[in-house]
């Protein structure tokens, strides 16, 4: 009967590459969530604008994103768009796909948060002379962000963990680096334990950061 022993020292020589992969994962997720949140707010404003073509377009986009796999979206962006002359690197394709995916889910989250806002607040803003966009920016958007903050942070975590599939197009994220290290030393058990630990640590640190942001901003509204 063969014996099995953990040999983590085979992973240690590659710690710098793993950290670089982790940093790319964090960078892609932060950029995608920031751009996606702005795009989601604009999309929700389009839904509220009363302009039917924009509302139909936003709803169609949300349905497409929410009902297709993230991996298929990624492969389409990276492999299909070059056939129509749109060329991009693996990291650029990963970022674009992550923005699109995050936006598709966040639009619905924000829309639910807006529905919880009293209509009288909008009427009061308009009576004070605010334009429709000013009412949205100064009254609706801040409250929608507060109402949906836990859901938005959860979506961020899902995006971060889901970003592991970008290794399928050779984007050098944490999972891609882990796959490469495993191909060198064949210590898959140790390599993926370390990789899982890094993902866990990143997610916990992000949650702690978001909790701090909540206490510094939205908590004072209570």
Give domain status of residue 4, yes or no: no
Q: What is the pTM of this model?
A: 0.89
Q: How many CA atoms lie within 13 A of 214 on its CB side?
A: 15
Domain range spanning residue 46?
A: 14-221
33-51 pLDDT, tens digit per residue, is: 999 999 999 999 888 877 8
CATH number of the domain enclosing 217: 1.10.3720.10
In the predicted model, what is the mean pLDDT of the chain? 89
Distance CA 81, CA 208 (A): 38
Helices (H), the chain: 15-48, 52-66, 70-75, 90-115, 119-127, 132-135, 141-162, 174-185, 188-216
Give domain status of residue 2, yes or no: no
At 219, the pLDDT band (50, 70, 90 cuts) reads low
Give domain status of residue 157, yes or no: yes
- pLDDT at position 4 is 63
- pLDDT at position 170 is 87
Selection from 149, 194, 162 nearest residue 37 by Cα:
149
Q: Is the pLDDT of residue 110 over 50?
A: yes
Q: Are 156 and 206 in contact (CB under 8 A)?
A: yes
Q: Tell me what the mean pLDDT of segment 105-112 comes to.
A: 92
Q: Is the pLDDT of residue 2 over 70?
A: no
Number of C-beta neighbours around residue 146 at 10 A:
17
56-99 pLDDT, tens digit per residue, is: 999 999 999 999 999 999 999 999 999 998 999 999 999 999 99
Give domain status of residue 22, yes or no: yes
Q: Is the pLDDT of residue 1 over 50?
A: no
Give domain status of residue 7, yes or no: no
- Torsion sign across C-alpha atoms 187, 192, 195, 196: negative
The pLDDT > 70 percentage for the chain reads 95
Give domain status of residue 153, yes or no: yes
Q: Is the pLDDT of residue 183 over 70?
A: yes
Give domain status of residue 8, yes or no: no
Give domain status of residue 83, yes or no: yes
For the chain, what is the domain count? Answer: 1
């Amino acid at each position: 009967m063969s014996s099995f022993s953990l040999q983590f020292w085979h992973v240690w020589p590659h710690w710098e590459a793993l950290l670089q992969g982790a940093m790319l994962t964090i960078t892609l997720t932060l950029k995608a969530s920031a751009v996606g949140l702005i795009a989601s707010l604009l999309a929700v404003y389009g839904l509220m604008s009363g302009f039917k073509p924009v509302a139909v377009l936003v709803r169609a986009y949300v349905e497409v994103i929410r009902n297709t796999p993230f991996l298929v979206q990624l492969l389409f962006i990276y492999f299909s768009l070059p056939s129509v002359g749109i060329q991009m690197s693996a990291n650029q394709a990963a970022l674009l796909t992550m923005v699109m995916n995050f936006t598709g889910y966040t639009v619905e989250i924000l829309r639910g948060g807006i529905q919880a806002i009293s209509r009288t607040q909008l009427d009061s803003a308009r009576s004070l002379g605010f334009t429709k966009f000013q009412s949205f920016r100064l009254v609706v958007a801040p409250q929608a962000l507060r109402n949906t903050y836990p859901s938005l942070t959860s979506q961020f975590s899902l995006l971060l963990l889901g970003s592991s599939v970008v290794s399928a197009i050779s984007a050098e994220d944490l999972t891609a680096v882990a796959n490469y290290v495993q191909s060198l030393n064949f210590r898959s058990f140790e390599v993926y334990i370390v990789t899982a630990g890094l993902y866990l640590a990143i997610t916990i640190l992000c949650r702690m950061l978001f909790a701090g942001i909540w206490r510094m901003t939205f908590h004072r509204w209570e």
